[in-house]
Structures are given as structure tokens and as C-alpha cells.
Amino acid sequence: MLGSGNALCVLDGRAAQRSAALDEGSVVIAIFDYGAGNLRSVQNTLDEIGASYELVRDAAALDRAPKIILPGVGHFGQMLRALDEMNVRQAFISRIRAGVPFLGICLGLQGLFDSSEEAPEQRGLGTFRGAVRRFDNSARVPHMGWNQLDLTRPSKLLKGLPERPHVYFAHSFYVPVVEQAAATCTYSLTYTAVLESGNVFGVQCHPEKSGPLGLAMVRNFVEL
């Protein structure tokens, strides 16, 4: 169901507070810049919660990063081709396998899978098996606006959020429900909205556009 009722929740005031972990400033998060992500919004979100970060564009920077965020907007094939042209595909795979905390946002989540109907010829990172699908003709595409998350199991990323938070989406393709799903969303069908598996986290929504709830999600990642 669509709605924005939870969009302005303040989460008991915690969304505006810095935690001790952030104040220490000891972890510099790498935001990967492949040329098309919504970097400014993600930077603004990290600035607001007091997190340290740097924009990176090469494998060497990924290799030293203690945490990685891959924001993604646009086209699956374009993003994966960019990663290949920048020679960072293997760096992403190696860092994820090494246990480095990783957060993929929107297309950054979809890129973790084998392939996508958006670009069937293009290989994804293959961290998880399966293909990203396009919403069928019964749905108005893109899915854009506020929608509800339904938690399927305890979630580190959604810790402290309301039971059924509303967050902001903008996408035409989706990840089917997989065993790693920590929350789903329903828009003509039910799909994976939040993924958690060990050190790997992914969100189909845009936390950087989801107000205090989105800030809380990013804060939870930073504080892992």
C-alpha cells in the first residue's frame, strides 16, 4: 500500500543525534563514484549524521576501504560496464568476500545479482544467484513514491525503525523475494526491498530521500 504516513517520524529524536561511534570519526566510508550515482544526496546524508567518507574511483581505494557504499541510478548495463571499464569488478567481489561491510543502494542492490532483464547480456557481480526482473504491464512504471516495508526477519539495517516504515522508491526493475531478504515491499507484486547477508546489505529504496527514517538506516550501516 502506498502512503507517506511514517515519512516524518523522528524515531524518538535519535535521527538528529550523533552516536559515540560517529563522533570518534575513525572509519572513513568509501562511496564509489562510477559517474552516474546520486552521490550528492548520499554525501548530504552522511554529512547530516556526522560520518566521514571519501569518493573513490579505483580498485586501490576500494582495497583500503573499511566500509563501501555503492549508490546506483540509471541503467544496469551502464553501471556494470562502467565498473568493468574502471577495472573494479574484482575489487568489489574480493572486498565483499573478505567481509568488508557493503551497502548497495537501488541499482547498487540490483548489481549484486547475476543479471537483469534490463540488460540481459551484461553480467552482474554475482554475489547472489538470480536475475533482476521488470515490473509487468499491470503496474505503472516506474514505481515512484513512498511505500511500506514489511520486515521478514530481524534486521541490523532497520534496527530502531517503526514496524512498517514508509520509505521512498524510484525504480522500474526489482529483485524477486530471495532468502536473504530482510524486508519486502509490495507494488503489484512482492519483492525484496532490503537485503542482508553477513556483511552485505542492499536497499531498493532511496534512504537518502527517505527523511529521518532513511537517516536511521544509513546510521545503522555506519555503526556496524
Q: Enumerate the β-bridge partners of residue 148.
A: 166
Q: Which of 166, 179, 208, 223 is catalytic?
A: 208
Residues 6+ apart with CB under 8 A from 201: 101, 102, 103, 104, 156, 157, 194, 195, 221
CA pair distance 155, 221, nearest whole angstrom: 11
A 10 A CB-CB count for 188 gives 14
Q: Which of 31, 17, 19, 105 is nearest to 62 (CA)?
A: 31
Q: Which of 106, 143, 166, 196 is catalytic?
A: 106
106 given a catalytic annotation:
yes
54 given a catalytic annotation:
no
Following CA atoms 201, 205, 207, 209 in sequence, which dihedral angle do they give, to the nearest 10 degrees?
Answer: 160
Residues 6+ apart with CB under 8 A from 69: 29, 30, 31, 32, 42, 53, 102, 103, 104, 105, 108, 221
208 given a catalytic annotation:
yes
CA pair distance 208, 197, nearest whole angstrom: 22
Q: Which of 143, 166, 171, 206 is catalytic?
A: 206
Catalytic residues: 106, 206, 208
